[in-house]
Every structure is written in structure tokens, then in C-alpha cells.
Amino acid sequence: MDMQKVSSEALQTATATFGGVFMGLNILHLVSGEGKAGSTKSVILLIKGLIKRGHRVIVAASPESYNYSLMKEAGFEVVSIEMKSRYDFKSARKIVNLCQQEKIDIINAHLSTDRYLAIWAKFLGAKAKIILTRRAISRSSRLISFLYLIGADKIIAVSKAVKESLCSQGIPDDLIEIIYNGIPNDFGSVNPQAIEELKRRYNISTEDKIIGMIARWDKLKGHDTLFAALKELKGDYKVLLVGIDESFWPEIEAFGLGDRVILCGFQKDIAPFYHLMTIKVLPSFAEGFPLSILEAMSCGVCVLGSNIPSISEIIEPNKNGLLFETGNSEDLAEKIKVLLNDETLRIRLAKQGEKSVHERFSIERTVEATEKIYSSGA
């Protein structure tokens, strides 16, 4: 029996109308991991959009993970599956059973462990269409590339840069579809009282010039490049770092920045923090597709990013933001200085950034494009 043909026919039936009523798909999202990165927010926004469009979504997550609690908190239908490792065949069998019980049409796997388990589930008998989402630049082995090739019906890459990294490892171009992350158009709408409360908490005045960065501590995020740039920067400014806590004071003090830096730690509700910023900086050496750039733009904040492929897919220099030479702290310092001192430029770039994110990177676009992949033949 041609399972690809059966799968395609089942999908067409599932997405058809019956008596004028839309018949949605049954979709299983695999979401292992701890969930404190932007990728988890992207998954949550996608699932909300799919549910809104009439699909039934089940989320499988490890019961002790932060992801599990986030998905439950979002009101999703969540199933507990351990997903301990890439070779957790017991969990893969549970996924197969779940697919049979719930008549799952689509398995969408988002993280590394998830992608392996989705493929093992297919080999163990799951009849669902396998969609693998790649959210970071691929540095996978030839083995996983081979598994992608024989196990995936489609791979979603969240940027051109991610797609190119997959193609460089031998995955065919036509197996990969680029779908950018998106955010709601009302992301930047924040209760003014929440902003004022943060100003009081962190002793920030309206006149303060705030350089903001939102990222977990990771060498690839480029915190050291920012700190080196700030060390050379003269003038009155403060630095707002969201995503790292006081345990990182030694690294910051090594650059002599202790009295300027505000550490906010991990924050679940991130939107109000953008409204504290004069400019938002992301000095990363590698990104799949940084949601924080979109979020800052949506909040009307001028953005400055390193000139790497994924960031340059969002920021058009001197149109909706600025780019600096990756890893070059002197260039970064100069661009920060320009933006802090030129209010007219800063406001113009921020307005264009807000316009571009609403036009190009809305969550509605992301959901519609993903739904099209789900509903098409493999």
C-alpha cells in the first residue's frame, strides 16, 4: 500500500468541508526541553493560531519540564510523555499509540529530541505526516541528515539561513520550506501601569537612555562583544539585561560596568521590558531567527543587530534598524553612539521597524503558511 498516497488523501479529507463546516486536522506537537528560549514562545503562538483556525492540537511534553507547565498554563490539551533522549524508543512507542488513539494527522516536532522521536515513531508505525521544524542553524551529523531525508515529509526552516545550513548537509532544497516566526500585531500593547512599575523597581527615569538586550547567557549571544563596546562608550546610559541574573556579576564587573547594568533575570512577561529601552541590541554570532528583534520592533524600539544572515533577513540597514560587523565591539560602540545621540534617526528607524514587522512577520502569516504545509500532499 502507498502510505504517502494514503496520508495525502487523509489530509485532504480532514481539511475539507462537510455540510459547510470546516473539518480541522488532528495535530500533535512534540515539545521537549525546558522552554525558556524564544522558540517556545513561537510554538505557543503557532498552536494558539491553529486552534483558532479550527484544528485540534495535542501537545506532548515531558511532565517535569517547564514546557509542560507553560503548555498547561496556555490552556492546551497536554499529554505527558517523558522524551528523555533522542533514542527513547519507549517514548516513541507512546507517540505511536497516541497517534492511533487520537487519529493524529500531523506530527510537528520542534526540538532536537522531538525530531528524532517523531522519525522513530514513523518507523514504528505512526501513519501521521511528519513535519520537522528547525529553529536553529543546523550543525547536525550526516546521520541526522539521512534520518531527515527518509523520515520527514517536510522540514520547516524558520529562516533562509537555517535552510541554507540544512541544504549544506545534503538535505534537498524541495524538502525544506521557509516559514518565518511571527508575533501578534498587538504584542506591543502594554498596560502603562506595568511599565511604570518596572521603572520604579529598577530606578529608571523617563530621561534615562537605556540600552537593552534580551537573551540567555551563551557565548553565541555575544554578551562579551556588547560589554567590550560599552566599556569604550562615553556618556550617560544604563544597560538593561533580561535573561541573566546576578550570578553573572563577575563577568560584568570584569568590564567595569557594574554601576551601569541592571540585571532582570528570566522574565515570563517580556513585553513591558521593551518599553523601557531606548535601543535594543542583539550582538549574536549565530541565530536561527531571533524573535526578540521582532518583539522590539513591534514595541516601537529601534534595533541594532550583528550582521549575520538571520538577523539581516529582518533588519534592512538604515531603513528599519542598523547592523554592525559581527564581533566588532568598536563598530558596535560607534553604532550605539549614533543611535543614542540622533533621536531623529532613532525614531525614523523605529517607526519603519514597527511597520515592517506588522507587514512581514505577523503570526497570522506564520499560521497560514504552516497550515498550508500540513494540508498539502507530501
* pLDDT tens sequence across 341-377: 999 999 999 999 999 999 999 999 999 999 999 998 5
Q: At what angle do helices 223-232 and 329-341 cross, to 10 degrees?
A: 60
SS3 347: helix
Give the pLDDT score at 259. 81
Average pLDDT value for the chain: 91
AA letter at 286: A
User: Beta partners for 157?
Assistant: 134, 178
Give the pLDDT score at 35. 62
CB-based burial of residue 81 (10 Å sphere; 0-12 exposed, 13-18 middle, 19+ buried)?
A: buried
pLDDT at 36 over 80: no
Give the pLDDT score at 22. 43
* pLDDT tens sequence across 269-328: 999 999 999 999 999 999 999 999 999 999 999 999 999 999 999 999 999 999 999 999
* pLDDT tens sequence across 209-260: 999 999 999 999 999 999 999 998 888 899 999 999 888 888 888 888 878 8
User: Beta partners for 131?
Assistant: 108, 154
CA distances to 77, 79, 113, 328 from 228, in Å: 46, 46, 36, 9
* pLDDT tens sequence across 98-126: 999 999 999 999 998 999 999 999 999 99
Give the pLDDT score at 23. 62
Q: Where in the chain is the domain with CATH 3.40.50.2000?
A: 3-182+362-375, 192-360
CA distances to 136, 255, 304, 313 from 307, in Å: 16, 24, 9, 10
Average pLDDT over residues 41-67: 95
Q: At what angle do helices 38-52 and 363-375 cross, to 10 degrees?
A: 70
- Give me the CATH topology for the region 192-360: Rossmann fold (3.40.50)
Cell matching residue 295: 518583539
Can you tell me which residue has the cell 497517534?
99
Domain 3-182+362-375 has CATH 3.40.50.1980: no
Q: What is the largest CA-CA distance in the chain?
A: 72
Give the pLDDT score at 7. 43
Give the pLDDT score at 377. 58
137 versus 297: the higher-pLDDT residue is 297
Do the beta carbons of residue 301 and residue 274 sit within 8 Å? yes
